[in-house]
Every structure is written in structure tokens, then in C-alpha cells.
Structure 1
Amino acid sequence: MEYAASAGGQGHGQPVEAELRILDLPTSSGIMVLGTIDPATRASWETSLNLLVNNGGGTVDLSRLSFTDVRGMSALIDAARRVQPPRSLTIRHPPGTVRKVLRLFWPEEAAQLITDDGRPT
């Protein structure tokens, strides 16, 4: 599965392109997120999260995420809450700013969701 979303805009007379690509992880159940999660790409992000939840959870690799707004992280937390135990959703390699936002707004969930090399952080 691969989802891509983009939206053109204007900034200082130059076109600005917001893009999000979501790819299946090759070695495990889950997705890799590349690019930007913002209002222009949110629908693709939420569709991918819904598919992940419907498939019983998995890993969300954020190592190539360049930006997300708080609503994008809120959607991720909501998806994690909807996965039925004993299955789960985990976050691998979040950028430092994402890690900070998750720990600030959702400290309990962040402690359970964020893993590095398979270990909770």
C-alpha cells in the first residue's frame, strides 16, 4: 500500500508543495511516514491510520517525518486507543519534536507507544 497526498500553495510568490507519502514497512506490520502531516495531507494520514487499526495495529515509523501539527499527533493517539488488546500500535524513531509533543500532551500514551529498536523509551 502506498498513499500520497500533496497540496500546492503560495508563499512569497513561489509555489509551496506539502507532501505526505505513506509506505508499508517491508519487514513488519506497519507503515513508514515520509513528509508532512498538516491540514492539506490529514485525510491521507487518517485513512492510513484507520487501515492500520482495522488490521490490528502495528508499527508507525516516523524516522522520515519532516513535520506534523498537533492534530496529526492527536489522530495517531486516537488510532492507538482504538487498537484492541492484545494487539497494539507502536511508534518507532519519532523526531525529537514529535517525542516532546507526545510526552507533553499525552504522557501516558507516549510512554507505551514510543519504541526504539523494539524497547519502550
Structure 2
Amino acid sequence: MREPLPADMFDELCPSSLNPIRFGDKWAALIIRCLEHGPRRFSELRVPLSRVTPKVLTQSLRSLERDGLVKRTVYAGATPRVEYQLTPLGRSLLGPMASACAWAQEHWDELLDARESYDDSSRLGRAG
């Protein structure tokens, strides 16, 4: 039995939410992290990715599958099920993603300050 994915795996204060380095679409890196330790069903992915609508999660998974990063396997039977898992190509992204996450964590305060400053100046620019 697999260990369930924690619901707070991607807390809003997680450095991954500030990471300016993107792998695929907005949610691709988070999906890849969820699949890091083995295959998962759609319902398992929904737990830590609760901010993603089912439609967008499906689109992201299809995009990752199209790029050769994720493999979708359908198991027939009395209760058919589908699992998603990283391909060797998808697994090769884990190292670069870990480096990007470490960088974001190291520069967390600078990223927050820059975004806050930008947002403040944008609000002032629109008001005038």
C-alpha cells in the first residue's frame, strides 16, 4: 500500500508557489512532485492539488503525457482504474526541479519583496 499524499503538500506558503522557473504549465511541476515516489490515481493527485480544478488537472496530465513525461495506464477489470506515473524522461526532471526549488527557497524573501514592490507600483500606476 502506498503512503497517501499529504493534503498540505503544496501549502500556499511553499517556495514552489514562488518559483519563477516553470516546467510545462502552471501545475506541471507540482504534478511531477506528486508522482515522484510512484504511480498515483487521479483522486490521489486531487488531495494535494485541491486548488486545481479537475478539468485543469486533466489538461495538465494530458500535456505531460503528450510531452512524454507521464505515462497513463488503464487497468481493466470489475472496477477499472487509471494510474499516472513518471516516465524515465519525467524522472530526469526531478534533479533540475529540486535545484529550482532550493533556489526559490534561498531567495524567498527577495522574491516576496520584488513581487510586493511590483504589485504596489502597479496599483499606483493604475490609480493615476
Give the alignment's TM-score, normalised by structure 1: 0.28
Bigger relative CO (Cα 8 Å, ≥ 6 apart)? 2
Identify, as 1 or 2, the structure richer in strand. 1
Task: Please identify the structure whose Cα radius of gyration is greater.
Answer: 2
TM-score (norm 2): 0.27
